[in-house]
Structure 1
């Protein structure tokens, strides 16, 4: 009989090679043709006077790295949310977490236009916490509000309200041109300095996610079972929520709202890794990074040579997947 850990171990072992290949492909393909040799020279002997080297190091390489990181962060966030709530439709984009981040960044840009990147990161983190607290707080006030379909509807309503309010504010205060980046998730505008600033928050969020993984495995079976196993459910949920807020907030700060990654990838990770979140979380991270990087590469060819927001590609995959989940699993919580 095949060891149940064979597939997740194989996925994690192949991850470094897959990421290197995806970074190379992402840097290679774009509106301007750049040879593989030129990419190598840019990495080992950067020439600041070379236009190609500037494009590679300041645009394409940060874009490739950013896509891998954001995909990983959103997938891990989705896995934590689905396991903690036993809700197969839970994800940052569906539960208002991402929209809360965009709303907070908009407020920051309207009322503090001279803020440095650190302030945008903190604003995004506060917004993601606001979005999550609003959706789950209201869900507890509604009969059966934590059921998958009702929670998804409530998350969509709150998310739409937050994003619409943000867009209205940005239009009224004439900052819509600046804030459009956060609405359309344009990875080609990735800021290398912002990536560097976000890394400490992301590392802490991933550490919390891994620390909570065993407890989330128990919570995914049922809160009564988790309590019977000696899990401090309140503490476990708090740790998981902080991890989701950190990872989602960082993702939105880097590239804006990216939909469906946190919904799709955890389901695929469970297919490969089983029900143990000590494996689901790292596998989700790897698959999420690979998925978003592939979507970003595909987005460049939708309307070549013009850029297409990566959210278009993720939505083309995510909407049918969402409808499939509704059709096959109905409105019951995950068993």
Structure 2
């Protein structure tokens, strides 16, 4: 390097890069967050003691179990039937494609609360359900009310409605698989059904899983609509309790806390499922929240103490170099 350039670089001083916009935004958000926390703590009308009392109330826990049971059964029906509908939409049979499209169109068009009420009143239309040959003899008959009660109507409404949305999620995931995979499987003489089950669907799961977990999270909250059937899920249960003791806001907060707990567990599961399915697509997996926290603590300690970061910490967490400012020397 020429001596002139060396002398020029020697006259430069490294100063930290400044980000005034970031600091202003951080200050504004911190003030707003402090205001919210202060309001929650100082406003006695929240009645947090009542919230703590009813959080583990036996009736509330029973309602929570009702919500979880509804979510599980409806999710199994929804995603099982949704996968079948997705494969029907991709079938070469015009009849199968038309039926699957019609199902999706109807159940996505009718509001969920209306579907629930229709299923609950199914006994009005069909007091007895018959199973047999169409326009022919019936092999078995059963009383409709013995099958489609409150729980049955809730499961049918939630599960069949979810199947319409799940079908589009699965279909989009299958269509997202590279066409070369289909062609290679066909060239090897693999049957079409085996292609879908062993080659296409495993690759499509990378796209299907994140959206499916989001749908399940929405299904957890969607079970609150079942209150119109007077079924004992979480939202209906807290409504019955605050209808008796008039502690409306504290009981609503009890329900909100439990919904937060359930959705948080599902969100954590979603993160690790996404991370698992990303193994085949990424060279380096994204860090877990625990790793991020550890690296952030080490980087902060390094900035404050001047110690070197361990080699295991990624460069993105290292203190950023400043920009050069000319303080002397020739131009």
Query: One fold, TM greater than 0.5?
Result: no
TM-score, length of structure 1 as denominator length: 0.30
TM-score, length of structure 2 as denominator length: 0.30
